[in-house]
C-alpha cells in the first residue's frame, strides 16, 4: 500500500454513504438521504454531524417541501472551498495541472513542457507545477493536502505504482512516493481513462447512475466502466480495454501485435499512418488529413468512416456485455468527430442488442484540462468514498 495515500474523511459506511451522496447529488434533506440510503433519519443526523462541525457540510436555509407541509427542512450541502485538490495529467511531452474545489470545479490551471519522459524529470516538473499553481493563492495552498495524478497505462492505484506505460516508456515506476516527497502532498495515482470516468460518474453525465461507461478516442481507444456504482478494475487491473476488441480479424495490424483491433483503425496514429499511405505524403498531419476528408478526398474520408465504425462496434460490445445506463464518448481525438460520429451511431444502432440500444450515447470532445480534472476527481473520491481493496 502507498504509505502516503490520503486518509478518507468518513470512518463508518453510513458516514461514507451520506457524504458521497451529498457531494454527488446534493443538496439533499436528511429525510431524502434516509429514504435513498435505506437508513434512519437519526442515523443520517449522526453521520452528518462531524462533517457539519468540521465545515465539510453546511445547511441551506430552511424550506418547505410543499405548501401546507410539516416543519421546514434544511438541506445538507457540500462546502466546496473547505478543501482543494490538485489534479495532474502527465503525457509524453507535457504536464497539465489544475486545482479543483470539492465539487471538482477548476479554480486554477497551468501547463509545463517535458524535455523527456524520465521519471525523475516528470517528478521534478510535477513539483514545480504544483508550486506554480498553489503559490498564486496562499489561502488555497493552506487548504490543499492531496493530489490526484493520472497517467496512461497499467496503474496500481493502491500502491501508487505505474506497472506499465508504453506511452511514457515506463515499467514498474513508483510514482506516488517520489511525487509525495517532492510536493509534501498525499498522492493517489490512477490510469487516466479511469480518472476521467470518475469525474464523469461523480460530477458529469454519470451522476445518479450505478452503471456507466466512458470511451475515449485519441492516441488510444480507452474505456472506463462503472458497475454497481464502482469503477471496474478486474482481476488484473486492465478491465475495459475496448481498444483491443477485435472488429475485423483480417484488418490492419495493431501495435499490440493482433489484427483488427479497434485501435488499429481508430487511434490517432493508426488513422494518420494509413492516411499517409493513401496520399503518399509522409509529412501529413492529422489536421491536414481531416481537412482532406472534409474537402472531398474519398480515400481519406473512408479511413475516418472505418474508424467510426470500429469505435461504434467496440462501444456496442461493451454495452451488450455490461448494459450501462449511459455512455459518453470523449477524448482529444474527437476534434474530428464530425468525420465519424455518424458511423459510430450507425454501428451502435445496428449492433446493440435488444433493450441495450436504449442506453443514450453522448459524443463530445474535451480539452486536456479535463484529464487533469479527472485526476483531481479521483483524489476527491479517495477522500469521500475510498475504493474497496
The pLDDT tens digits for 35-85 are 999 999 999 999 999 999 999 999 998 765 544 455 567 899 999 999 999
Per-domain residue ranges of the chain: 13-78, 83-198+370-384, 209-365
Instruction: Say what the pLDDT of residue 213 is.
Output: 95
Q: Do domains 83-198+370-384 and 209-365 have the same CATH topology?
A: yes
DSSP secondary structure, 3-24, as one string: TTPPPPS-SSHHHHHHHHHHHH
**Per-residue model confidence (pLDDT) at position 25:** 92
> Do residues 88 and 112 lie in contact, with contact meaning Cβ atoms separated by under 8 Å?
no
Taking the model in full, what pTM does it have?
0.89
Strand partners, 170: 165
Residue owning grid cell 490551471? 109
Cα separation, 113 vs 381, in Å, equals 28
CA-based nearest residue to 313, from 232, 243, 365: 243
For residue 27, say if its preceding peptide bond is cis, omega within 30 degrees of 0.
yes
pLDDT value at residue 158: 86
Q: What is the pLDDT of residue 71?
A: 58
- Residue with C-alpha cell 501508487? 160
- Element (DSSP H or E) covering residue 304: helix 298-322
341 — phi, psi (to 5°)?
-65, -40
| Long-range residue pairs from 270-273, CB within 8 A, at least 24 positions apart, any chain | 270/307, 271/303, 271/304, 271/307
CATH fold of 209-365 reads: Nucleotidyltransferase; domain 5 (3.30.420)
With 90 as the cut, is the pLDDT of residue 331 above it? no
The cell for 278 is 493513401
- The whole-number pLDDT of residue 81 equals 95
Residue with C-alpha cell 450507425?
346
pLDDT at 105: 96
Give the integer Cα–Cα distance in Å for 195 and 189.
9
Name the burial class of residue 187, with classes exposed (0-12), middle (13-18) and buried (19+) by CB atoms within 10 angstroms of its CB. buried
Per-residue pLDDT at 273: 94
- 281-303 mean pLDDT: 94
pLDDT band at 143 (very low <50, low <70, confident <90, very high): very high
Select 13-78's CATH number: 3.30.360.10, 1.10.3720.10, 1.10.10.10, 3.10.20.30: 1.10.10.10
Residue 235's Cβ-count burial label (10 Å; 0-12, 13-18, 19+) is exposed
User: What share of the chain in percent tops pLDDT 70?
Assistant: 94
CA distance 275 to 262: 17
Q: What are 195-214's pLDDT values in tens digits?
A: 999 999 999 999 989 999 99
The number of helices, as runs of H, and strands, as runs of E, in the chain is 13, 15
Confidence label for 1 from pLDDT (cuts 50, 70 and 90): very low
Residue 327: alpha-carbon gap to chain centroid: 13
Domain 83-198+370-384 -> CATH class: alpha beta
SS3 283: coil
Average pLDDT over residues 172-186: 95
Question: What is the Cα Rg of the chain in Å?
Answer: 22
Query: Mind listing the pLDDT tens digit for each residue in 234-264?
Result: 777 677 889 999 999 999 999 888 999 999 9
State the greatest distance between any 2 C-alpha atoms of the chain, in Å, as a whole number: 76
For 8-22, the pLDDT digits (tens) are 888 888 999 999 999
% the chain with pLDDT above 90: 75
Question: Which of the four pLDDT bands, split at 50, 70 and 90, describes residue 106?
Answer: very high
For residue 387, pLDDT over 60 is answered with no
Report the distance separating Cα 124 and Cα 178, nearest Å.
9
Please, what is the average pLDDT of the chain? 90
Comparison of pLDDT for 24 and 6, the residue scoring more: 24
- In which band, very low, low, confident or very high, does the pLDDT at 223 lie, cut at 50, 70 and 90? very high
Amino acid at each position: 500500500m502507498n504509505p502516503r495515500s490520503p486518509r478518507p474523511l468518513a470512518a463508518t459506511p453510513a458516514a461514507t454513504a451520506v457524504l458521497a451522496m451529498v457531494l454527488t447529488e446534493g443538496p439533499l434533506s436528511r429525510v431524502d438521504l434516509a429514504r435513498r440510503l435505506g437508513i434512519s433519519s437519526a442515523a443520517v443526523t449522526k453521520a452528518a454531524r462531524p462533517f457539519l462541525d468540521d465545515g465539510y457540510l453546511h445547511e441551506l436555509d430552511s424550506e418547505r417541501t410543499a405548501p401546507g407541509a410539516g416543519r421546514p427542512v434544511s438541506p445538507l450541502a457540500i462546502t466546496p472551498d473547505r478543501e482543494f485538490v490538485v489534479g495532474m495529467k502527465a503525457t509524453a511531452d507535457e504536464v497539465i495541472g489544475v486545482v479543483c474545489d470539492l465539487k471538482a470545479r477548476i479554480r486554477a490551471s497551468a501547463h509545463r513542457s517535458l524535455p523527456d519522459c524520465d521519471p525523475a524529470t516528470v517528478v521534478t516538473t510535477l513539483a514545480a507545477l504544483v508550486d506554480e499553481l498553489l503559490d498564486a493563492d496562499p489561502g488555497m495552498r493552506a487548504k490543499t493536502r492531496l493530489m490526484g495524478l493520472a497517467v496512461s497505462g497499467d496503474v496500481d492505484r493502491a500502491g501508487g505504482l505505474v506497472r506499465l506505460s508504453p506511452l511514457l516508456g515506463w515499467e514498474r515506476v513508483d510514482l506516488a512516493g517520489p511525487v509525495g516527497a517532492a510536493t509534501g502532498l498525499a498522492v493517489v495515482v490512477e490510469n487516466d481513462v479511469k480518472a476521467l470516468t470518475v469525474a464523469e460518474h461523480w460530477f458529469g453525465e454519470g451522476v445518479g447512475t450505478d452503471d456507466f461507461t466512458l470511451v475515449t478516442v485519441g492516441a488510444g481507444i480507452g474505456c472506463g466502466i462503472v458497475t454497481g456504482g464502482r469503477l471496474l478494475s478486474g482481476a488484473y487491473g486492465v478491465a475495459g480495454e475496448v481498444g483491443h476488441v477485435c472488429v475485423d480479424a483480417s484488418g490492419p495490424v495493431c501495435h499490440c501485435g493482433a489484427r483488427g483491433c479497434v485501435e488499429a483503425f481508430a487511434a490517432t496514429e493508426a488513422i494518420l499512418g494509413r492516411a499517409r499511405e493513401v496520399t503518399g505524403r509522409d509529412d501529413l498531419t492529422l489536421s491536414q488529413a481531416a481537412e482532406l476528408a472534409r474537402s472531398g478526398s474519398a480515400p481519406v474520408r473512408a479511413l475516418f468512416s472505418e474508424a467510426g465504425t470500429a469505435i461504434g462496434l467496440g462501444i456496442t460490445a461493451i454495452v451488450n456485455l455490461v448494459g450501462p445506463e449511459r455512455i459518453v464518448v470523449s477524448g482529444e481525438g474527437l476534434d474530428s468527430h464530425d468525420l465519424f460520429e455518424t458511423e459510430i451511431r450507425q454501428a451502435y444502432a445496428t449492433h446493440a442488442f435488444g433493450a441495450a440500444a436504449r442506453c443514450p450515447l453522448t459524443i463530445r470532445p474535451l480539452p486536456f484540462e479535463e484529464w487533469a480534472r479527472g485526476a483531481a476527481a479521483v483524489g476527491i473520491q479517495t477522500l469521500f468514498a475510498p475504493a474497496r481493496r
